[in-house]
Amino acid sequence: ETGVTQTPRHLVMGMTNKKSLKCEQHLGHNAMYWYKQSAKKPLELMFVYNFKEQTENNSVPSRFSPECPNSSHLFLHLHTLQPEDSALYLCASSPTRDGANEKLFFGSGTQLSVL
């Protein structure tokens, strides 16, 4: 148990569906991240939130919509996804957004399949 919990663990959705991924951290951290892990590709940073404010959007398509209502919760709202969006979506947190000096704590991810 690392203190970062992601739900659901698996998700299958059609291209016209709307779904949400949830991440919750119990570590008292102020920064939260969404990463995408596709098969045979490096992990890609998607979004960074620091004290609930979005501080980085790594050119992510608008069909992915993040939400951070407080420092403990992070959502990723999905709509009209494409099959190439199928991937493992990992959430992480750290005390602050100073990724160089701090360890990232990751959740176990949501394995998403888009049909």
Partner 1 sequence: AQTVTQSQPEMSVQEAETVTLSCTYDTSESNYYLFWYKQPPSRQMILVIRQEAYKQQNATENRFSVNFQKAAKSFSLKISDSQLGDTAMYFCAFIIQGAQKLVFGQGTRLTINP
Q: Which residues bind partner 1 (CB under 8 A)?
A: 2, 31, 40-43, 45, 48, 55-56, 58, 88, 90, 92, 97-101, 103-104, 106-109, 111
Q: Pick left, alpha or beta for residue 2 (phi over 0 → left; psi -120 to 50 → alpha; otherwise beta).
A: alpha
Which CB atom, from 8 or from 14, has the smaller least distance to partner 1? 8
Which CB atom, from 95 or from 99, has the smaller least distance to partner 1? 99
**Least CB distance from residue 49 to partner 1, whole Å?**
10
Instruction: Give me the half-sphere count of Cα atoms (radius 13 Å) on the Cβ side of residue 103.
Output: 4
**Least CB distance from residue 101 to partner 1, whole Å?**
8
Which CB atom, from 1 or from 16, has the smaller least distance to partner 1? 1
Residue with tokens 């709509």: 79
Phi first, then psi: give them for residue 85, nearest 5 degrees.
-85, -5
**Least CB distance from residue 32 to partner 1, whole Å?**
11
Q: In what side-by-side order are the strands of the sheet with 4-7?
A: 4-7, 18-25, 73-79, 64-70
Query: What's the full length of the chain, in residues?
Result: 115
Which CB atom, from 43 or from 80, has the smaller least distance to partner 1? 43
**Least CB distance from residue 95 to partner 1, whole Å?**
13
